[in-house]
C-alpha cells in the first residue's frame, strides 16, 4: 500500500519495499510504502511477528539473517539507501538514517565508557576534531537531559539506570543529525514515568533537529500520543495507514480495531478482550485478506484475490472490503465490566506483612512495609523502577534474605529465604518471573520445566501420572499438550510466559507473586495473559500479588492496589477508589504518565 507523495520535500519516501526469506520465495513483508516530511513521526504498530522490525531494519538497507531485501526503494534526502553497498552504505547509516534499538544495554559496549562511545560515533562519520566532538556531545546530552560532566562521561553502561542507558542510545541516534531515525520499541520494559520522559524527548528531538522518525511499537496507546501518522502492520502487510487521530478514533480495518480494544484503560474499568487466534507461519499465508482467518466480519470474498485499498478520508487508507461495517460496529469492550474492585474494607489479609525492611549489601530498599493481601483477590504492587516493588515480591517468595520483619500466610509464619522454608511453605507460595526466556532453561523441554516442581515438591506416583499432570497444566494455561516436547526457543513470547505460569501452578499454590509478567509482551498477548490470570483466579481461588508499573493493567486485573515510592507504601486501597481519586502526588504523577487512548 503505497502512500501518495506530497508536493513538499520529503525526508523519506518508501515505495514497494519487499523482504523475502533467503532460501525460499516467501515474502516476509511486501508492498510497504509511505512518505514523511522533516519533523514528522510515523508510528508502525502490530503484534510480534507482524514484520514491523523487519521493515525498520530494511530502511537502513539491513536484512536480518535468513532474509534478503528483494525489491523497492528507500529514498532519504534524495539518496536511495537500497542502492548503496559496503562502505558507502555504512557511511550513510548514522548520518543519513540512524537506528535506536530496543535493548540499550545489549547495544552499548559494556567495556567502554559512555563518552568514548559517543565520540566513536562521531569519529566514524568524519568528525575527528576533539573540540567539535566535545561540543556536539555536550549539545546532544543537553537535548536528552543528561549531564555532560567528565564524571558522567567516564561511567560505564552498567553504572547508569535503564532510563539513562536508553537516553544515551537515543543520543547516539541523533548525534550525527540524520534526516531519519528508526526507533525500535525504545520504551518497552521501562516504567511509565521513564517512558513518558523518553517519549517527550523523542518528540522534541524530531522537531528540533527536523528529523523524521519511524517509531516501531506494539502499543497503540504509546504511539497514539506521539505520532503524526500511524501504519498498522499485520502478517507482513501495511493493512491501514493514516493520521494518528483518524486511526485511533475511526479505524477502518478490523485488526486495527482489535489492537485498540485490547489496550486497558487506566481511567475506567473495561471488559478485557483479545484478538482471537494467532498468526500462522509465513509459508501458510492465505490468499485474499491476510487477517480473514481471525476476523469475525470476514466473508467468502475476503479469502480470495487481492484486497484493494479503500480510501476513507484524506490520507487514510485501509486494506479491507468491509470498512463501513468495521467503523459502524461498537467496540467489543465499550461496556464497563460487571466486575468491580473489592471494597476498601476487604477483610483480613491472607498474606500479612509487618514492619518489613529489606536491603541490598547494606543499602536499604524497603522501609517498615505493612501490607495485607486478601484471600482470593488480586492485589497490585505499583511503582517506578527502583521503588522496591520487586524486592518486596522476592522477599515474600523467599528469593531475598537480607530483610527483617514478620510475614504470615494463612496465619502461619513465613520465613525469609526459600532454603529456610518447609516443602509445604514452598508449595504454598510460587513466583512467576518477568522474563520468561531467562526463567526457563533453554536446554530443557516444556515438559521437563513443568515437571521439575512436581518432582521436587509434589507427590506424583510415576511417569504416567507425571505426564498426565503436565498435560493438565498445559490445558489450564490454554496451551496444546503437543508443545510439551518443544524447547523455549521454539515458542513465542506469550507461549513461554504461559509455560512459566503452568510451572508455578504445578504445586497447587495458594499465593502467586507475578513480577511484571506482561511488561515485555505485545498488547494482544498481554490481554490474553491477563484474561488467563483472571480465569485461573476464579477457578482455583488463587490469591495474587501482581507487581507492575502500568496502572492501565492494574485497572484491568486488580481488586486492590498498593503504591510504592522509594521503599515506602504511600497509598493503598480498592483499585477504583485509588485510581478515581488518588490522594498522593506520586500516584497522581503515575496516573498522568500512563499512556491512554483518547477515544471520546
| pLDDT computed for residue 546 by the predictor | 96
**What pLDDT was estimated at residue 331?**
63
Domain covering 349-559: architecture: 3-Layer(aba) Sandwich (3.40)
Name the least confident of 78-82, 162-166, 180-184, 402-406.
162-166
Quote the CA–CA distance of 72 and 178 in Å, as a whole number: 22
- Check whether 393 has a pLDDT greater than 90: yes
45 and 232 Cβ atoms separated by less than 8 Å: yes
What pLDDT does residue 4 have? 44
CA distance 531 to 498: 12
Closest Cα partner for 440 from 509, 383, 499?
A: 499
Which has the closest alpha carbon to 537: 349, 372, 377? 377
Measured CA to CA, the distance from residue 353 to residue 404 in angstroms comes to 11
DSSP secondary structure letters along 369-432: EEEEEETTSEEEEE--TTSSHHHHHHHHHT---SEEEEEEETTEE--SSGGGS-HHHHHHEEEE
Question: What average pLDDT score do residues 249-259 get?
Answer: 93
Stretch(es) of the chain classified as CATH 3.40.50.300: 349-559
Mean pLDDT of the chain: 89
CA-based angle 382:386:390, to the nearest 5?
55
Return the pLDDT at 58. 96
Buried b (16+ CB within 10 A) or exposed e, 426-464: bbbbbbbbbbbeebbeeeebbbbbbbebbeebbebeeee
Q: What is the pLDDT averaged over residues 152-170?
A: 90
Cα–Cα distance measured from residue 393 to residue 18, given in angstroms and rounded to the nearest whole number: 46
Looking at residue 572, what is its pLDDT?
A: 96
Considering only residues 2 and 26, tell me which one the structure prediction assigns the higher pLDDT.
Answer: 26
Query: What's the grid cell of residue 146?
Result: 543528561
Residue scoring higher pLDDT (479 or 569): 569
d(CA 84, CA 115): 30
DSSP output for 303-335: GSSPPPPEEEETTEEE--TTHHHHHHSPPTT-S
Rounded to 5 degrees, what are φ and ψ at 179?
-75, -30
Residue scoring higher pLDDT (23 or 206): 206
Helix (H), strand (E) at residue 141: helix 130-143
pLDDT above 80 (res 195): yes
Backbone phi and psi for residue 324, each to the nearest 5 degrees, phi listed first: -65, -40
What percentage of the chain exceeds 90 in pLDDT?
Answer: 65
CA–CA dist 600, 588 (Å, integer):
21
- Band of pLDDT at residue 30, cut at 50, 70 and 90: very high
Q: What is the pLDDT of residue 600?
A: 63
pLDDT digits (tens, 9 = 90+) for 37-59: 999 999 999 988 889 999 999 99
Contact 554, 561 (CB under 8 A): yes
What pLDDT, on the 0 to 100 scale, is given for residue 345? 47
- What pairs with residue 406 in β-bridges? 354
Residue 19: strand pairing partners: 29, 69
Residue 434 has a pLDDT of 86
- In this prediction, residue 346 carries a pLDDT of 47
pLDDT tens string 271-309? 778 888 777 778 778 889 999 989 989 999 999 888 999
pLDDT for res 157: 92
324-377 pLDDT per residue, tens: 999 987 665 544 444 555 554 444 579 999 999 999 888 999 999 999 999 999
| pTM: predicted TM-score of the whole model, two decimal places | 0.86
Q: What is the CA radius of gyration of the chain?
A: 25
Q: Is the pLDDT of residue 260 over 70?
A: yes
Q: What confidence tier does 409 reach under pLDDT thresholds 50, 70, 90?
A: very high
What gap in Å lies between CA 588 and CA 254, rounded to an integer? 34
User: Could you tell me the pLDDT band of residue 568, with boundaries at 50, 70 and 90?
Assistant: very high
β-bridge partners, 476:
none
Which residue, chain included where needed, has cell 521436587?
456
Within 219-362, strands assigned E span 229-234, 237-243, 310-313, 316-318, 349-360
pLDDT at 350: 92
Amino acid at each position: 500500500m503505497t502512500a501518495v507523495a506530497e508536493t513538499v520535500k520529503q525526508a523519506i519516501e518508501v515505495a514497494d519495499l519487499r523482504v523475502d526469506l533467503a532460501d525460499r520465495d516467501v515474502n516476509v513483508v511486501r508492498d510497504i510504502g509511505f512518505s514523511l516530511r522533516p519533523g514528522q513521526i510515523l508510528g508502525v504498530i502490530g503484534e510480534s511477528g507482524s514484520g514491523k522490525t523487519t521493515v525498520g531494519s530494511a530502511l537502513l538497507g539491513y536484512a536480518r539473517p535468513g532474509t534478503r531485501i528483494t525489491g523497492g526503494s528507500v529514498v532519504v534526502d534524495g539518496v536511495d539507501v537500497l542502492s548503496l553497498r559496503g562502505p558507502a552504505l555504512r557511511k550513510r547509516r548514522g548520518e543519513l538514517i540512524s537506528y535506536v534499538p530496543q535493548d540499550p544495554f545489549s547495544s552499548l559496549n559494556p567495556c567502554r565508557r559512555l563518552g568514548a562511545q559517543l565520540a566513536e560515533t562521531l569519529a566514524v562519520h568524519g568528525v575527528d576534531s576533539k573540540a567539535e566532538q566535545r561540543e556536539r556531545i555536550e549539545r546532544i546530552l543537553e537535548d536528552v537531559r543528561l549531564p555532560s560532566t567528565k564524571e558522567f562521561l567516564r561511567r560505564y553502561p552498567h553504572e547508569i539506570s535503564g532510563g539513562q542507558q536508553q537516553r544515551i542510545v537515543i543520543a547516539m541516534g541523533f548525534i550525527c543529525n540524520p534526516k531519519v531515525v528508526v526507533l525500535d520499541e525504545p520504551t518497552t520494559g521501562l516504567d511509565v514515568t521513564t517512558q513518558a520522559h523518553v517519549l517527550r524527548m523523542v518528540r522534541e528531538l524530531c522537531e528540533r533537529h527536523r528529523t523524521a522518525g519511524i517509531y516501531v511499537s506494539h502499543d497503540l496507546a504509546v504511539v497514539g500520543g506521539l505520532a503524526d501518522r500511524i501504519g498498522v502492520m499485520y502478517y507482513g502487510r501495511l493493512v491501514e495507514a493514516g493520521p494518528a487521530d483518524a486511526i485511533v478514533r475511526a479505524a477502518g480495518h478490523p485488526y486495527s480495531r482489535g489492537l485498540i480494544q485490547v489496550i486497558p484503560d487506566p481511567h475506567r474499568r473495561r471488559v478485557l478482550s483479545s484478538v482471537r487466534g494467532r498468526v500462522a507461519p509465513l509459508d501458510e499465508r492465505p490468499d485474499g485478506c491476510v487477517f480473514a482467518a481471525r476476523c469475525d466480519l470476514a466473508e467468502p470474498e475476503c479469502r480470495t484475490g487481492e484486497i484493494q485499498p479503500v480510501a476513507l478520508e484524506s490520507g487514510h487508507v485501509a486494506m479491507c472490503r468491509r470498512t463501513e461495517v468495521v467503523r459502524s460496529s461498537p467496540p467489543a469492550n465499550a461496556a464497563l465490566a460487571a466486575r468491580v474492585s473489592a471494597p476498601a474494607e476487604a477483610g483480613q489479609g491472607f498474606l500479612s506483612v509487618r514492619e518489613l525492611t529489606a536491603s541490598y549489601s547494606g543499602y536499604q530498599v524497603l522501609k517498615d512495609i505493612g501490607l495485607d493481601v486478601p484471600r482470593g483477590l488480586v492485589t497490585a504492587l505499583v511503582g517506578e523502577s527502583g521503588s522496591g516493588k520487586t524486592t518486596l515480591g522476592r522477599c515474600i517468595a523467599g528469593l531475598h534474605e537480607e530483610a527483617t520483619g514478620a510475614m504470615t500466610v494463612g496465619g502461619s509464619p513465613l520465613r525469609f529465604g526459600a532454603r529456610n522454608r518447609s516443602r509445604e511453605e514452598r508449595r504454598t507460595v510460587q513466583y512467576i518471573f518477568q522474563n520468561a526466556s531467562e526463567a526457563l532453561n533453554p536446554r530443557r523441554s516444556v515438559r521437563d520445566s513443568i515437571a521439575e516442581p512436581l518432582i521436587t515438591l509434589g507427590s506424583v506416583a510415576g511417569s504416567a501420572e507425571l505426564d498426565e499432570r503436565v498435560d493438565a497444566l498445559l490445558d489450564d494455561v490454554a496451551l496444546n499438550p503437543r508443545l510439551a516436547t518443544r524447547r523455549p526457543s521454539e515458542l513465542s513470547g506469550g507461549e513461554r510466559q504461559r509455560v512459566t505460569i503452568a510451572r508455578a501452578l504445578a504445586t497447587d499454590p495458594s499465593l502467586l507473586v507475578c513480577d511484571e509478567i506482561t511488561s515485555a509482551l505485545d498488547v494482544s498477548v498481554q490481554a490474553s495473559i491477563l484474561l488467563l490470570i483472571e480465569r485461573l483466579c476464579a477457578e482455583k481461588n488463587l490469591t495474587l500479588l501482581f507487581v507492575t508499573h502500568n496502572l492501565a493493567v492494574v485497572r484491568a486485573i486488580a481488586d486492590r492496589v498498593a503504591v510504592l515510592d522509594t521503599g515506602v507504601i504511600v497509598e493503598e486501597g480498592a483499585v477504583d477508589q485509588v485510581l478515581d481519586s488518588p490522594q498522593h502526588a506520586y500516584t497522581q504523577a503515575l496516573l498522568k504518565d500512563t499512556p491512554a487512548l483518547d477515544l471520546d
